[in-house]
Structure 1
């Protein structure tokens, strides 16, 4: 496996087939789908960061890379994806065989661009953290949560913007920055938790346009669209400026004062609180990296997104209720969170869920918002548990095991014309960029060649599935150059420093086709990557196909793979043997089919 690890260390890519079946039929017969695992922000020790904008092909919009053919005399480069001829701009005039720009060095197949501030209008935006805190907790749990949040504040960068919302029966939006011209006392804006609040209503009640006329309908808020920085600073303030105010609020944080009868659950409006948080961020920092960090200690019982009634006589829905479609609140709650996730994806914002309770909190309903925005989920029994405290520290703490979080990313794929993109399985949302690269068959987030990655870190890995479009006979592959294909991945993201960056990875692999191609396919088979892509595909099918039998499907896939690539004599089981390239794969499938992830 050493050569595959070397490829991963170079570009962050692992492929089950490093030599690709050359036609649609051969790809189908190979059992394991043509796919790859890509880690967009994988750390590389010597990754060059270029202080200028990349050069794009006029036709397919792919970016100049080491596989481009260069005509130094005519100052032209030929795109390896569409074969279009492009002229170099004036600032590349000195290019020659002995004077190459960094993006053409053969070893720099992965490279990053960070244009200078003057080349980018808004190149530096601090990260934003909006805490949404459940106060329907017992005093002991509130104490644990206060301590954990205080420690988190100490780890934050000084320029990070902080916001604070609490919720129980009502949602309280706390004002952290307040002018001395008034009373000098911080305010708290209260919203009723039993009904959904529109963005316009939130902006009106928070007095965003108190001293300035409201802009025309349909305009997105933010500094660029007329919202004053003073209005934003009342609710989102740099950590260095709001530390005292926020610590004071945490010290005064108490259990929800509205009494709870002994035969009822606490009145908790989780959905309303998250919706208002999304509206606040959409008004203040649209299109900039921001995290809603929700700390929840029980089930939502009030307003949109509720999963159970307040009466304790009514049990919370179980897995069996969901299977039988007999959970009365489920579909309505899922529809609400789907709408919330679309809003957050449009804004480029993330939802993190820290659920610490012995009871359920409604993750089944909320997961669509967390998954599509690339958020984190931490489940523990108590806010005093080490799992919660250590996980919260890792979000902010720099060091060997830090997450290196980034945000507000856009991911694009370019590929040679004989491949089509089926889709991606991972924490992303489709941007619906349809075109010739999109396959008719869809897996995961498909029918697009661009995706939104609201939240990603250095361990985030996307699984991309491809469809082979070639249908002609193997004889059509003639010249040595025609059996190469190329893939390019573009990840545009907001670095933890606040600057926008663009990472480019361009890779090349070979097609093989015809009777003698089996041994070449075997030589390029990565059984670890194959096990991961197959496991992700099984997980996706289990969730989306009602009558899918995962164990039977895995068994049939393994049998088909062994019958195609194994050596054996018919009716003689002892004669069966597999190449070392496949030898561990059956063990992977054996343990997968017996694991708790697949067993009913």
Structure 2
């Protein structure tokens, strides 16, 4: 992707940027905007333009391009990185030692010109002065002590997380407004004091569960969410980011904090302890520079321009609406909608947005295209941001797609139209979009039903009817297969799907069983954590979260992909499962027995040693480039931690199966297998 050292050329009507899809009249030195068809004159410095002398922004391969114009480059040194460390001190001495060690290492990784602030909190909030005129730097991290206030028996520690974060936001707003500052919050337990508290100090009150939130019996939940919504609005206005590192065996309030993290483009790491490798390595990844740095950028504004037949419903992702209303905005809102511009306080290499569009309704019933210029339609995405090097840049991405309904399409057969639609379908991106949509709906779509009881005392009660994610996913899949599948009515055996659609039912099957939909075994904090990561990661990484990858290692063959099925388990095989948040190395019973006997340490069994090492090497590569750093689980067949693998496998052989696989494992689950799921799908579709 080229970076151009001059200003972009804008359409004088719709303000879109010159791009490869523009029509250019070289003799008249004119270009026609593909979005609004406005004729624009080239400025004098484009006088040498010709077929043989094109500027970079007109090259067909440069649909994405960046501008770093002279006035956008800082005349002085690049802007310093600004960090406000907000540290919880209500924890045991061992955890404090782990956290102090990690923070000391983090300080060493910061660039020399960084500006650093420190706030500690427990019962009270303490703001530390780290520097003044005579003393440029003062370090107090080693002297941090556990919160001195005593905690009575049968009570939780007094922890004012909301107040500390509010103080941090106000200080940054007063000192460095509009800068790329980041709040780095390190929290080791639930907030129990003041605004943003999620539970009382009395241990007899349990922290809210999914069931409590669904029943509206979580007394602190909605107040805390509203507080963090206000904090998010303040941080977005200031251009600042909230990053959260939550390390505790109990919940700390990630579910309530989610709105502030997501709208500011913040990062979140959830671990069991500040001594856990997931926390320590993830913190290092945030601050280190090199081949695997996150490429942190800031102060982003993301804008969309599109053809007049397209409307923007909204975005699901790490951003906040700038409420730029206009003709591009749809009346139907999904995520952050009713705008064509969004604020992205924090960006990085992996930050990905899911945009939802709709086709604008036409007044005429005629579906044929009236204008030849409308055969194609266009999108342009503009991202203004402060690069990690400190310079301001503008990234422009311009895309073109073709309407299936073109001239003469009224006479075209439906089979041809369906073929063209199928050819443009991306089942991987569609699966990720469905995952984000269903997660969004599960958090936002709870509606009330009025029920009138005609008894002696007339009552009107409001009953909550929860959104049913499984039913919604199934209906969407059935509708898609019925529309685009090939089958004879009433005949299940005749059903087939194009290769462009064939894996989508499999993605949906695993999405129904994923941590994004099945919240029974997860806390609200864990579910919120999973969804924050899903809503910011790219398609490849998100697919691994939905349908984990499985690699098989054996003496008989090299590493090869294996079906995500219980049938993949064998006594003489090692399996490597990557579910994004967890990486599992699973040793078959025979492999585990040989390893415990120490055969890999004997010179004559070098092949076995190499077999054991191969999945370790692959795991190191996965961990090296991933954020947050995944948890590594090494387990054996029939061992207690084997559940991390078994929970992700298709239960083709379960305790109630008719024909279990000989020599393999049997899953103790009532979940239906993919084969049964597909059989039901085919029977419903052909009806």
Work out the CA distance in 1 between the residues paired with 2:100 and 2:288: 18
- In structure 2, the CA distance between the partners of 1:484 and 1:275, relative to structure 1 (3 Å rule), is same
Q: What is the 5 A alignment of 1:219-258?
A: 242=137, 245-246=138-139, 249-258=140-149
Where 1:574 maps in the other structure, the secondary structure is: helix
Q: 5 Å matches for 1:279-298? A: 279-298=170-189
Say whether the 8 Å CA contact 2:72–2:391 is kept in structure 1.
no
Shift, 1:314, TM fit: 2.7
1:51-70 correspondence to structure 2 within 5 Å: 51-70=5-24
Does residue 83 of the first structure (1) align with residue 37 of the second (2)? yes
Q: Taking structure 1 as reference, are residues 302 and 431 closer, same or farther at Cα in structure 2, changes over 3 Å only? A: same
Q: Is the 2:384–2:394 Cα contact (8 Å) retained in structure 1?
A: yes
**Displacement after TM superposition at 1:120 (Å):** 6.4
Please point out which of 563, 568, 571 is paired with 2:490.
571
Larger C-alpha radius of gyration, 1 or 2? 2
- Matching of residues 326-365 of structure 1 within 5 Å: 326-365=217-256
Shift of 1:298: 0.8
Structure 1 residue aligned with 2:635: none
Match of 1:318 in 2: 209
Q: Does 1:533 align with 2:439?
A: no
Change (3 A) 1:573 1:313: closer
Matches within 5 A, 1:179-578: 179-180=133-134, 242=137, 245-246=138-139, 249-471=140-362, 472=364, 476-477=368-369, 481-513=373-405, 514=409, 515=414, 516-546=416-446, 547-578=466-497
Distance 2:96 2:422 in 1: 57
Which position in structure 1 is the counterpart of 2:533?
Answer: none
Q: What whole-Å deviation, never above 9, does each CA across 1:498-526 have from its counterpart, x for those lacking one?
A: 11111100011100124331111111211
Is 1:165 paired with 2:56?
no
Q: Does 1:101 align with 2:20?
A: no
What secondary structure sits across from 1:378 in the alignment?
strand
Cα 1:463–1:475 change in 2 (3 A) is closer
Q: CA RMSD in A?
A: 1.8
Residues 347-384 of structure 1: per-residue CA shift (max 9 Å, x gap): 11110111111122111211111111111111111100
Residues 379-401 of structure 1: CA deviation (Å, up to 9, x unaligned): 11110000000110110123343
The runs of at least 4 consecutive aligned structure 1 residues that moved more than 6 Å come to 118-123
| Equivalent of residue 580 in structure 1, options 479, 499, 513 | 499
TM-score, normalization by structure 1: 0.79
* Counterparts in 2 of 1:421 and 1:118: CA distance versus 1, 3 Å: closer
Give, in angstroms, the shift of residue 402 of structure 1. 2.3
How far residue 160 of structure 1 moved from its aligned partner, in angstroms, is 2.0
Q: Distance in 2 between matches of 1:97 and 1:400?
A: 39
Matched, 1:176 2:130: yes
Tell me, in whole angstroms, the C-alpha distance in 2 between the residues paired with 1:121 and 1:260: 54
State the Cα deviation string for residues 40-70 of structure 1 (Å, max 9, x = none): xxxxxxx111112211111111111111111
The answer to which of 112-121 and 435-444 deviates more is 112-121
User: Which digits, 9 at most, give the CA deviation of each residue in 1:549-592, with x for residues without a partner?
Assistant: 11111111111111111111112211111111111111111111
Match of 1:151 among 88, 93, 105: 105
Q: Equivalences for 1:9-28 in 2 at 5 Å? A: none
Q: Using CA pairs below 8 Å that are at least 6 residues apart, which structure has the higher relative contact order?
A: 1
How many residue pairs get aligned? The number is 491
Q: Secondary structure at the match of 1:512?
A: coil
Q: Aligned in 2, Cα 1:120/1:81: closer, same or farther, shift over 3 Å? A: farther
Contact 2:435 2:516 in 1 (8 A): no
Q: Which residue pairs with 2:96 in the alignment? A: 142
Deviation at 1:595, TM superposition (A): 2.4
Conserved 8 A contact 1:123-1:499: no
Secondary structure, aligned partner of 2:172: helix
Give me the whole-angstrom Cα distance separating, in 2, the residues matched to 1:250 and 1:475.
68
Q: Quickly say closer, same or farther: Cα 1:565–1:95, change in 2 above 3 A.
A: same
Offset, 1:461: 1.0
Q: Is the 8 A contact 1:409 1:454 kept in 2?
A: yes
Change (3 A) 1:525 1:66: same
Match of 2:65 among 111, 132, 138: 111
Distance between the aligned counterparts of 2:387 and 2:41, measured in 1? 31
TM-score (norm 2): 0.69
Contact in 2 for aligned 1:135/1:168 (Cα 8 Å): yes
Provide closer, same or farther for how the CA distance between residues 123 and 69 of structure 1 changes in structure 2, counting only shifts above 3 A: farther
Could you list the per-position Cα deviations for residues 131-169 of structure 1 after superposition, in whole angstroms to 9, with x for gaps in the alignment? 001111211111111111111112111122211111111
Q: Give the drift of 1:479.
A: 6.5
The partner residue of 2:81 within 93, 116, 127 is 127
- 1: CA distance, partners of 2:246 / 2:351: 21
| Separation in 2, partners of 1:405, 1:583 | 37
Q: CA deviation at 1:470?
A: 4.9
- Indicate which of 485, 488, 509 corresponds to 1:590: 509
The secondary structure found in structure 1 opposite 2:384 is strand
Secondary structure of 1:529's counterpart equals: helix
1:432-490 deviations in Å (ceiling 9; x for gaps): 00000001111111100000111121111111011101534566326664310110001
SS state of the match for residue 568, structure 1?
A: coil
CA contact (8 A) 1:351 1:375 kept: yes
Deviation for aligned residue 1:316 = 2.3
Task: State how far apart, in whole Å, the 1-side matches of 2:108 and 2:73 are.
Answer: 34
**Equivalent position SS for 2:284:** helix
Query: Residue 52 of structure 2 aligns to a residue in which SS?
Result: coil
